Structure 1
Amino acid sequence: MIKQKIISYKWEMLGLLWFAFLFNQADRAMYGFVMPLIKEDLNLTDIELGVVATTFHIFYGLLAPLAGYVGDIFRRSRILVASIGTWSLAALLTGFSANMTHLILFRGASLSLGEAFYLPSANSLIGQYHEKTRAFAMSIHQTALYCGMIGSGVIAGYLGQTYGWRSPFFLFGALGLIWASLMFFRLKDPASKPGDPKVSPDKKAHKIPLKEVVRAIFRKKSVLMLCLVFGCLVFVNVGYVTWMPTLLHEKFGLSLAQAGFSSMFYHVICAFIGVMAGGKIADYFSMKRKNGRLLVVGTGFLLCVPFVYLMGATSSLTLSIFGLAGFGLFRGVCDSAFFAGLFDVVEPKYRSSGQGLVISFGLLVGSLAPVLLGWIKTEFGLSQGISLMSVVSLLGAVSIALTVILFFNRDYVAPSISK
């Protein structure tokens, strides 16, 4: 009976985190869907719009190592509740912005403060409840990212054109605060196992020395290489989310609602397929080869390259959307197994900190995408900037190959207790 309850709750926990991650991505992505309206209302330049998005990713990247370490020494369930409450309040306050300074404060700094603490603790909590089904469970969680993107694209585009750009921030901020209240009562940490973060009965943190964490993570060259890989993944994704709706709006004459829908729908549907299939494939190959998850990620990266190039290079709307769809399919494959693959080279008690390091580097690299593409748009045209992101995808594929060939076998951590 107890075992049945544990099995049942690990899927309820995943459902709670799924909706939290949906709001996480919706609050982050909707800025890109209403940028033209913000630009007109607040009289901002393309570079200034890019700076606001870049500020978010810089703050997120700087906070991620702290978020990871905190996730290894405090109760992850409480961290997650505080995280969603903070970013939802920040999204709500973004709707009151009257100038660029307000956008940087609320959409940049405050939103990143809440969101930075989510993913390390969420993925680690999923990893605690799921062992054999780790990549599959993380794949399900990842689908919330896509649903959040497409949902916010349609809703933010419609609300923005109908009621003004502030309305979607009010809506999603309020919904997130409601969900944080529900999570406060329902989200629980599992009973501790060997290698998991320890929490004493009085619920005080058992601190892992920072020096021990740093030494354990930085001695793994696979982790350092995966920082570069994640940087490539985030750079392309951030550039796509921030500027692709604008490309479709300006290059092909779509309305904001149409551009928001078209830039996300086909991409997300294919990404949904890619992430679900990729998670199953990655778990299967991990039983055949211990580096199977990373091989799946590397294959996904390589197959992204031609589609990312096509998104910006073509003068046909149909082909651009075809590129979006292909990029979505293989981006989903990358997303499905990346963190599960990272866990193959990081001991369980350091997983949140390891994610924090990887996310930090990835977000700092990704933070360059909005402002860099904003500059390329001004100097050479946005189509050029989107197409050039294919080179970054290729770099990610090469980095995965080098990780598997040179470092993985030495860094691999065999699973302990199966679930």
Structure 2
Amino acid sequence: MIIPKLKWLRLSPPRILVGGFALIILLGAGLLMLPISNTTGVPLPFIDALFTATSATCVTGLVVVDTGRDFTVFGQVVIALLIQIGGLGFMTMATLVALVFKRRISLKERLVLQEAMNQTSMEGIVALIRKVLLYSLTIEAVCATVFAIRWSFDMPVGRAIYFGVWHAISMFNNAGFDLFGEFRSLTGYVNDPVVNFTAMLLIVLGGIGFVVMSDLVEYRKKKKLSLHSKVVLTMTAILIITGTLVIFVFELTNPKTLGGLPWSGKILASLFQSVTPRTAGANTLDIAGLRQATQFFIIILMFIGASPGSTGGGIKTTTFTIMAGAVVSMVRGREDIVIYRYRLAQERILKALTITLLALFLVITVTMILTTTEDHHFLMILFETTSAFGTVGLSMGLTPDLTLIGKILISFTMFAGRLGPITLAYALGKKQSKELYRHPEGKMIIG
């Protein structure tokens, strides 16, 4: 037992995260391959089981087989557990077990938790994990109750409770899986305010991040919000409002989407379709029926994604804010990026730039390869790839038709999107070492 422990201590936090997620995905795929998981009683092909397990653990929602129709209750429970573990993080769940058994959290485990939660220091990391678990379970329980009460009018009470709990887990963790069958998500409830607002509340709370939730809960006592929380809340509101207006304008006369809905339904559907690219994946409108302009706009929203320390993916709202701030500062001839009267360190700016460029490189590369392996329209492929990277789960209908290579590439993209490009690069690269010298400054002509 000494050798495995020594190997564990030698692994860097990024490698532990990558290895942990990979192990959970493989275990999940193994369980989904069991005949008991499939309604036909026939083992699911390995690549389909692996794709589903990756999508669930990486809280994406892209599916090659119908979750509600093709999986038994056992298989659906496995998927729900993978979503919960993947959304909160396997280290968070491991910490829960440690806290229950009153085991001490080691320094190495705190470092991994720091990496998993995108924190700048280990200070208060265990207390944050306690809040993560408390907030998550409370929010899921309350919204599961609301779902269950609403759906008890449409189905037996037992089934309504099961659906309520299952979809509360899926929505809060921004997974996008559903049990309604035929890949239709929440399209049957496009005009239902209870289902829509409950789902949107789960999506937004899961997407803003646990640090922001903690700040909001403690606002009465502290009477102030951190810079991070201000940026996340402001950018989230801007993206949702802008998205709602753009989708409403573009789809107002589209008979395949908003055209046949009443005015209240048009507004509600526009708002929901603006919220769901926050990496949720649920939809109340037919994504394939949207106009190309709307589809491309949703691609942009999916690429930005949710916020750091949340259950969502994408480059994150804070990264997008820093990049936008850099453009504004350069245009105005200023040296520093100033947000809410705070100057950002150069390290933050370089990290934001690195994340954005790595994400663009990943999405572009995978899209280029898929255009040669998949016989579909370019926009559909770009939409699918961006959805996988942002761990969103929205699809224009390509997922069930993916080839073997396509399934492997999209699975890898979901994996990279959930962990983050930098974490994956650190895990796969050589050990980082600080340079002991600086090169002389050079000058280049730019622009």
TM-score higher than 0.5: no
TM-score, length-scaled by structure 1: 0.33
TM-score, length-scaled by structure 2: 0.32
Greater helix proportion: 1
